[in-house]
Amino acid sequence: MTDTAIEMGHVFTSFGRHIVHEDINLRIGKGEILGLVGGSGSGKTALVREMVGLDCPTAGTVRLFGQELNHIDADNLAALRQRCGILFQGGALFSAFTVFENIAFPLREYQEIDRSLIRDLVYMKLAMVGLNPDVANRLPAELSGGMVKRVALARALALEPELLFLDEPTSGLDPVTAQAFVHHLQSLHQELKFTAVVITHDLDLMHDLCTQLAILADRHIVALGTPKEVAHMTHPFVEAMFSGTRGQRVFGPTNL
């Protein structure tokens, strides 16, 4: 069995004449939390979509759990995706569904599970993300921003994924709530040992949660390593992100 969750080799991505990625090479080991960082239009979301087989790169190979996505049938691809969970930016909860129905949705959609077991699993997932059972009957509009994120995380964890994708998980949260959410992710990672890819611009999250950072700029991964290693690398985008007052407070003085 491979110890690699995702491997991308010589990936090129273009939309018509617009080139987004050139020769992307990336390996994410099982159990790692990779922070994917880049400016607007750098192709972070496009890269994640390729990682789960939603889109195919223009050239190059993508392997998910050791299986090359360019040469896989629809049934096997669907089985691979069931091993993944996604926390969308803003939560993306179904507004007409209660919290219970939101978390139960993937359980009903992808697995034949008895109703009583679904109920038990939903309440177990709520407890995992630190929410009380009485939240289950509320609608998303009745929740705070932090609670929406936790419910979305519970839904992402419903199928006990080996690989978790998180899109700006702390965006829209106040600093205290964001810190609490990151701490909860840390605890869940220690307990469940999942692999994660996190699209983020949150320097505190990068420092506290991520084991590796990949910086996308100029169509390439221009920096790759531990957060502290990346923060001290020399590239204009990297320097702009980490050399400011907040970056130095979080990561310490850079080499500038």
Query: Residue 253 above 70 pLDDT?
Result: no
For residues 65 and 255, the model is more confident at 65
pLDDT tens, position by position, 135-158: 999 999 999 999 999 999 999 999
For helices 175-192 and 145-156, what crossing angle results, to 10°? 20
Domains of the chain: 1-83+161-228 (3.40.50.300), 91-160 (no CATH)
pLDDT digits 0-9 by tens, 148-187: 999 999 999 998 999 999 999 999 899 999 999 999 999 9
Q: What is the pTM of this model?
A: 0.90
Cα 238 from Cα 162, distance rounded (Å): 30
Strands (DSSP E) contained in the chain are 4-15, 18-29, 33-38, 59-64, 67-68, 84-87, 163-167, 195-199, 212-217, 220-225
The residue with tokens 């949660």 is 209
Eight-class DSSP state of 216: E
* Residue 214 to residue 34: CA distance in whole angstroms: 7
Q: Residue 35 corresponds to which amino acid?
A: G
Provide the pLDDT confidence category of residue 246 given band limits of 50, 70 and 90: low
204, 240, 47, 67: CA torsion to nearest 10? -70
pLDDT category, 71, cuts 50, 70, 90?
A: confident
Give the pLDDT confidence of 113-139 residue by residue, as tens digits: 788 899 999 999 999 999 999 999 999
